[in-house]
Amino acid sequence: MTMKAVIYTRYGSPDVLQIAEVRKPTLQKDNDVLIRVRAAEATKADCELRSFTYAVKWFWLPLRLALGIRKPRRQVLGGYFAGEVVQTGNSVSRLKVGDQVFGATQLRFGTYAEYLCLPDHYTIVAKPTNMNFAEAAAVPLGGLNALHFMRRANIQPEEKVLINGAGGSIGAHAVQIAKAMGAQVTAVDNANKEDLLRGLGVDHFVDYTREDFTGGGRSYDVVFDMVPGSSYTACMKLLNPGGRYLAGNPRLAVMLRCLVTNRVGEKNASFAFAGETQEELLTLKEMIEAGRILPIVDRVYPMEDAALAHQRVETEARQGAVVISVT
């Protein structure tokens, strides 16, 4: 049997994305779960995989070797989704047919398709009751990474937190999680993201096109940096004694400097990547249902307009997450 999917058979611009009939996945093991995908987030990482152009250069070669030197080995993009369980393996008890779920595929990708098969121990949990499929699909990438970093920051009430690149999926969730932890949040991004971020509760907004956020004599307890080109030295100078710097999209040089900082200084620097666990996604679900995390969907595109979805992501004009509706 076949299904519809958005595929790419070569690296390039958004125009390489196309609709095709591909083989529908089937249960291979007793712990597998078959999911009817209803929505998938189109992420910056998807765009980078499609074009094989990266702001962070150090993992270009290992990724190319792993994913395909001349053309992609896995032709269906997408790592984050929301949908319905339609079939389960014999040993699956945690999930059942009819469950509405959301989650992450780790490195299996494949959410730009009508069906997805994953082991039940992957990061798949019940969809928040107060979100539709598109809104839920926009949570796992940004929410899981933001929760990971905000927990590492060990934010205390009334601490001052600066988030550089706050208008992206991870940054927008980090704003809300930091606020839920009681922080005073300063967001740095382009002016076209200000209304979005004000609506999410930021206390201060800095338009980086008009003001250098590292100037002005301000200081912070936590700096969460999602922008690869930022000055590590300038960000570290923003920190109060005992402050914490977290690199969400680090260059190799920043990773090395973080290690040195932790050995010789009174400040802490971290670049540890998120594990994207079930526990973390369940925590996000509870925060969403309690009203502490709001939907951040910018636009929803049908599968046929996947190229437009990628264009929207790459222009950075989006006000939140871009989602592909898989109907």
Locate the domains of the chain by residue range. Answer: 2-138+295-325, 141-270
Q: What is the pLDDT of residues 287-300, one digit of tens each?
A: 999 999 999 999 99
With cut-offs at 50, 70 and 90, classify the pLDDT of residue 132: very high
Write out pLDDT tens, residues 35-65: 999 999 999 999 999 998 766 555 556 666 6
> Is the pLDDT confidence value at 70 over 80?
no
- Quote the CA–CA distance of 165 and 44 in Å, as a whole number: 13
- The SS3 assignment for 197 reads helix
2-138+295-325 matches 141-270 in fold: no
51-56, long-range: CB < 8 A, 24+ apart: 51/11, 51/12, 51/13, 52/11, 55/228, 55/229, 55/249, 56/228, 56/249, 56/250, 56/251
Domain 141-270: which topology?
A: Rossmann fold (3.40.50)
pLDDT at 58: 57
Q: What is the pLDDT of residue 265?
A: 72
Q: 219: how many CB neighbours lie within 10 A of its CB? A: 14
Contact 104, 122 (CB under 8 A): yes
Residue 91 pLDDT > 80: yes
Is residue 157 predicted with pLDDT exceeding 70?
yes
CATH of domain 2-138+295-325: 3.90.180.10
pLDDT at 62: 67
